[in-house]
Structure 1
């Protein structure tokens, strides 16, 4: 039996007798059906950059300041975790420059695949948190 459990749902995979096949004396699973305890399974949104952590508030604050500076936004501009780079007026080149500024400020290196999946300021902060934690380990 294999099972996946989360806060909001639980899914179990149990082979039925019909899905088992005997091969050289061993029972082999031909197929597995999944039954959930709810009518629908909520989507699990993982960080596009496969983040394991939610960024610390101080990391997010520092990222917001760097983004504001790199994009030359006025002091009155609001930059928060939910802010999308596109909504802040950043094109792909601007985003690359922001990532370079973040790399310099935090002393990390962001892989191209990870950088391309950054959509919001929170995504960037979460990725930085991951990389800083990995670097210190």
Structure 2
């Protein structure tokens, strides 16, 4: 049995994963700053597996966000950038999503579009939609 010593733990898997794909991870033991926790049985509904988008997808999303918000080409837009912090209102966010749909040939459901607040979230959503489409 393996144990992990850290202040935070991240589980990752190779992308793309199909929705509802079973994981081989069944049990994990954690230890934080000398405190041990007994083995925890993992329940699939309690953990979310997310795939990080490719760097080129993140960069393309950054370009689209700069264009839609009329930001200078040298403005600092990264995966962590929040649309609101860049000056986007709800209409701007809708236009950004429309630009993403056009650029990547995807269709974003309204519920999904309303949950996107950062460049990284948008890029991750694009990768997931492209994987489903393939």
Q: Which residue of 2 is the match for residue 14 of structure 1?
A: none
- Cα distance in 2 for residues equivalent to 1:5 and 1:71: 46
- Cα distance in 2 for residues equivalent to 1:110 and 1:95: 12
Q: Which residue of 2 is the match for residue 97 of structure 1?
A: 95
- Cα distance in 2 for residues equivalent to 1:99 and 1:62: 13
> Compared with structure 1, are the counterparts of its residues 104 and 87 closer, same or farther at alpha carbon in structure 2 (3 Å cutoff)?
same
> Compared with structure 1, are the counterparts of its residues 73 and 5 closer, same or farther at alpha carbon in structure 2 (3 Å cutoff)?
farther
Q: 2:61 aligns with which of 57, 60, 63?
A: 63
Larger Rg over CA atoms? 1
Whether 2:19 is the aligned partner of 1:5: answer no
Counterpart mapping for 1:12-31 below 5 A: none
* Structure 1 residues not aligned, in runs of 5+: 10-35, 39-43
Q: Which residue of 2 is the match for residue 37 of structure 1?
A: 38
Moved over 2 A (4+): 3-6
User: Aligned-residue CA RMSD in angstroms?
Assistant: 2.5
| Count of aligned pairs | 99
TM normalised by structure 2 equals 0.66
